[in-house]
Amino acid sequence: MSARSGDLPVDYRDVVRAAMRLQGVAHRTPVMTSSTLDAMTGAQLFFKCENFQRIGAFKFRGAYNALSKLAAGGQATGVITYSSGNHAQAIALAARVTGLTATIVMPRDTPSVKLAATRGYGAEVVTYDPATTVREDLAAQLAAERGLHLIPPFDHPDIIAGQGTVARELLQTAGPLDLLLVPCGGGGLLSGCAITVKSLSPGCRIVGVEPELGDDATRSFHSATLCSVKNPSTIADGARTSALGKLTFPLVMALVDDMVTVSDEALVRAMRWVTERMKIIVEPTAVLGVAALLEGTVRATGLRVGIVLSGGNVDLRQFAKWFDQ
């Protein structure tokens, strides 16, 4: 299916424009391989390592794309968002780079490394109790009171276009792929990558991977009805979103070939493999695609497979506890 089919809110031209804005600002992250994991899966794997991106995750791409447009147009002097961590850090840094101020609404149980990093980039952090507060409502209230421009973590055309540059770089480096596995939270990364893949490599299947405890997008995909989940308790904190968005849901339905889930236990096993064999630090959300392969949820024998490692912002004390279980 073409990324321009129907009336989709973002197309590949937006991704190309985002890539131009990001040039020289975002890192062009490495594509790594592992002969051991190739042998285990019977596939040729190409890992797009967004754990080496600025702020340690792919989120900087979309954040900078959105904020640089705002700053260039003189549309705002301050922005606000809500995030469990990576988008928070991305907006904080992008605001500092573009000369804007940033206010971030974050849950109290956000990993301490992400809270500290967000504040370190100069943003004001407003915490809330996720059991009693709806973060979208709190952010909207603060935006109205303070005159701030709201940039949501995934359901925004400039965010989606920026994330699509991940797949663009991967295909430029690795060449044609048969399959691309992408972590899915709110669907911004998955949507952006799907737009790129269906435009540059239409024969490549794209599969989104979610944690079992936060399976709203998978249920939405297979039922063709937008589903939600309340405060999922998965260790994949980057995928704790309650539902796909008004923009990402139709993009996922139009462009993604399949959605699958993996357990939190599988995520720990996958993190161990990536850490021990590839010698890099990744967070649980990052290895959703790896876990799908290692657990046999997705079969890839004989295929050239791209895997997006979405980030590496993990509390090392918790990291050690997971491996000690």
* Active centre residues (catalytic): 59, 84, 210, 214, 216, 310
Crossing angle for the helix pair 188-200 and 248-255, to the nearest 10 degrees = 40
Pairwise CA distance, residues 167 & 164, whole Å = 6
Q: Report the amino acid identity of residue 190.
A: L
Question: Which is it for strands 44-49 and 78-82: parallel, antiparallel or unpaired?
Answer: unpaired
Pairwise CA distance, residues 89 & 83, whole Å = 9
- Only one residue has tokens 């904020």, namely 67
- Only one residue has tokens 């080496």, namely 52
Q: Which residues pair with 78 in a beta bridge?
A: 101
Task: Count CA atoms within 13 Å of residue 315 on its CB side.
Answer: 16
Give the tokens for residue 91. 């907006």
- Show contacts of 76-79: CB within 8 Å, 24+ apart: 76/100, 76/148, 76/149, 77/101, 78/102, 78/103, 78/146, 78/147, 78/148, 78/149, 79/103, 79/148, 79/149, 79/150, 79/151
Q: Which residues pair with 210 in a beta bridge?
A: 261
